[in-house]
Structure 1
Amino acid sequence: MSVIRIVVLFGATLTTGLGAGLFYSYACSVMPGLAQADDRSFIEVMQRINVAILNGWFMLSFLGALMLIGIAGVLELKGGNRTALLWIGAAAVFQLAVLVITGVVNVPLNNRLAAAGSPDGIADLAAVRAAFETTWVRWNLVRALTSTAAFACMAWALRLSARTPAAG
């Protein structure tokens, strides 16, 4: 059981870290870079990114992280370190917050941007960009911080759990 518990904890930590890295990358490079682009380029690139990111690899880390955190919590509850379980619980709360923010804020903004159509057919590019950019960037920063907190909690839980012999 100990090996399975550690493998699941490691997988949860890894997928959580991948998500944190993604949101961090957007916060410190992608969005600041796009902020320098003209309205047409900004809209076109964000529309393309929003389509490209919907792939299995992204979904594996994005949805898989919360699933693995949940499994890690169950395994830790059944035979692990109670202190590690608290950190896993905190990670679950942070990771759930990332999913909620994404579903309530970022995805609807992405959908509105897609519904605006091709930049060639948008009459007021500046208005479409303004309705998207500031809010999306602000909430992505919150996702970056929240997912980083989830990753830190999982890393600490992994450390604690790896030092605890399996119950049983």
Structure 2
Amino acid sequence: MTLFLYVFSLLSLLSSGAIFGFFYAWVCSTMWGLDAADPALAIGAMQAMNASVRNMVFAPAFFGTPFVLIATAVLAWLSRMKAASLIFAIAGLLYLFGGMILTIIVNVPMNEALAAVAIPQDAAEAQRIWENYSGPWQFWNTARTIVSGVTLALTGIAIFILNAKAA
């Protein structure tokens, strides 16, 4: 295995793991915690988290993962490791469409709509707004979490194949 393929395999694993972990944390703790909180507090907290997530720590994993995976697929192909190349490519395309593009066309517009909401003083109105947001948002977040988990698993399988062939 060439040094470039080794480095890109490692970057593929790290970026896939980072984005899966990010989405997974929302599934198993963050949204459950917000759902248990006062709805007005949940709205404000979600607005703050959505505003803070667009940063240089998050961007490489979110935007870079499919391109690192595709680059790794190309390097594996050039190294005549076609099975691993195909799996890296599938992982990259899967995350591109089921993680990144899904987020851009579904979750981001939902987040932007919530950002435009003034936190209501009326508890019933806050409850209505939160329930209308939280359920659908969690459904789509679970979908992108599953896709990202499969992407991570495929990345691990491709690396296993690379190492088995190199041995």
In structure 2, the residue matched to 1:66 is: 66
- How far 1:20 moved relative to its partner? 0.5
Query: Number of residues paired by the alignment?
Result: 164
- How far 1:120 moved relative to its partner? 5.0
- How far 1:121 moved relative to its partner? 6.8
In structure 1, the residue matched to 2:90 is: 90
In structure 2, the residue matched to 1:18 is: 18
TM-score of the aligned structures, taking structure 1 as reference length: 0.91
- How far 1:98 moved relative to its partner? 0.5
Counterparts of 1:30-69 in structure 2 under 5 Å?
30-69=30-69
- How far 1:44 moved relative to its partner? 0.5
Counterparts of 1:120-139 in structure 2 under 5 Å?
124-139=125-140
Q: What is the alpha-carbon distance in structure 2 between the residues aligned to residue 147 and residue 72 of structure 1?
A: 17
1:113 aligns with 2:114: yes
Q: What is the alpha-carbon distance in structure 2 between the residues aligned to residue 55 and residue 73 of structure 1?
A: 27
Unmatched runs of 5 consecutive residues or more in structure 1: none
What is the one-letter code of the residue matched to 1:56?
M
Alignment deviations for residues 61-103 of structure 1 (CA, whole Å, 9 cap, x no partner): 1111111011111111211411111211221132111112101
Q: Tell me: CA distance 1:154–1:10, structure 2 relative to 1, closer, same or farther (3 Å).
A: same
Q: What is the alpha-carbon distance in structure 1 between the residues aligned to residue 42 and residue 30 of structure 2?
A: 11
- Partner of 1:56: helix, strand, or coil? coil
- Partner of 1:55: helix, strand, or coil? coil
Q: Tell me: CA distance 1:62–1:122, structure 2 relative to 1, closer, same or farther (3 Å).
A: farther
Q: What is the alpha-carbon distance in structure 1 between the residues aligned to residue 132 and residue 120 of structure 2?
A: 18
Ranges of 4+ aligned residues in structure 1 off by more than 3 Å = 120-123
TM-score of the aligned structures, taking structure 2 as reference length: 0.91
Alignment deviations for residues 88-144 of structure 1 (CA, whole Å, 9 cap, x no partner): 122113211111210111000000000113x15789322321221100011111111
Q: Tell me: CA distance 1:120–1:130, structure 2 relative to 1, closer, same or farther (3 Å).
A: closer
Q: Percent identical across equivalent pairs?
A: 27
Q: Tell me: CA distance 1:72–1:43, structure 2 relative to 1, closer, same or farther (3 Å).
A: same
